[in-house]
Amino acid sequence: MKKYASMNIQYSRGCPFDCEFCDITFLYGRKQRGKSKNQITAELDALYDAGWREGVFFVDDNFIGNRKKLKEEILPAIISWMEEKKYPFRFITEASIDLADDDQLIRMLVRANFGTVFVGIETPDQDSLAECGKFQNKNRDLLASVKKIQKAGIQVQGGFIVGFDHDTPSIFQRQIDFIQKSGIVTAMVGLLNVLRDTRLYHRLKKEKRLLAETSGNNTDSSINFIPKMNAKILISGYRKIVKTIYSPRFYYKRIMTFLREYKCSKQKGFHVRLYHFQALFKSIWTLGIKGKERYYYWKLFLWSLIRRTRAFPLVLTLAIYGYHFRKTFGESH
């Protein structure tokens, strides 16, 4: 239903945060180096002139890292450009959870037509957050922060990790509960893996707990270090999380949780195209007739038509995403 394809804009490099497992500061440093407003609008012009009229991903380690520049220079320029061009794009980007603390910034992102933001939640466990240095997530109500962003009209996608030293077997159900309550439909859960030259790499090397180079895929049920938790329990618990949250019952329920609080305004610049109808009929056949999840599909389908009519295109998009996640996870595990 929505296309983001490979239409990406790299806004900046560098990140002020230094999570133990992350290699961003090693690769690009702590200082964020962003493009100017003229560079950004020139790239938007290039996409527009090429005929692109779908989603655009602002690729960034933390789009809101330099809030002053963003609010005074970048976003006003994007808003002005979008208004002039009648909103041809819908944007997605990455940001830290403290976006929820800045009402003005949230409003500006919505005005600029940022519809989705990926946030690294990682874990609801305070000790594990402290362990990995995710201090911007500590001592806050993560659930309330997510819901505040969603209520403003921005869908939150979330990244989650299991395998920290402070994780106990209870973390698997805690992750499931948080994901379900938050209404984060697209929850990307991975096993902790050690990237070369990160702070985690050097710590575990010193502790003689490194096993091998990472596969580069933290969702393939492999780990390249000796965890504090029993490895079999850790991998089994990880698989339980993913299998549960993407099972039709849990997944469709989470969509409804999200939509009950999500502020779905009329999509600026949205035009119905042929592929929308093709996706609709294909989803009805694949999910609503052939699929084992057809009961949940039709329940959501009818509920959204009655209660969240404006969000109906998004509902179909998320239903199709769920099919993809289940198929991908089933094939890779």
pLDDT at site 32: 75
Q: How many CB atoms lie within 10 A of CB 10?
A: 12
Rg value, the chain, Cα: 20
Distances (CA, A) of 258 to 148, 185, 314: 11, 7, 11
Cα–Cα distance between 123 and 159 in angstroms, integer? 9
Q: What is the per-residue pLDDT for 3?
A: 46
Regions of the chain short of the pLDDT cut 70? 1-7, 12-17, 266-273, 330-333
- Strands of the 55-59 sheet, one edge to the other: 8-10, 55-59, 90-94, 114-122, 155-162, 187-191
- State the pairing for strand pair 187-191/155-162: parallel
Measured in degrees and rounded to the nearest 5, phi and psi for residue 188 equal -95, 100
CB of 165 within 8 A of CB of 131?
yes
What would the two tokens of residue 300 be? 């959501």
Residue 104: what pLDDT?
97
* Cβ 215 vs Cβ 224: under 8 Å: yes
128-178 pLDDT tens trace: 999 999 999 999 999 999 999 999 999 999 999 999 999 999 999 999 999
Angle between helices 274-283 and 312-332 (to 10 degrees): 60
Which pLDDT does position 10 carry in this prediction? 75
- Two tokens, residue 317: 């998009």
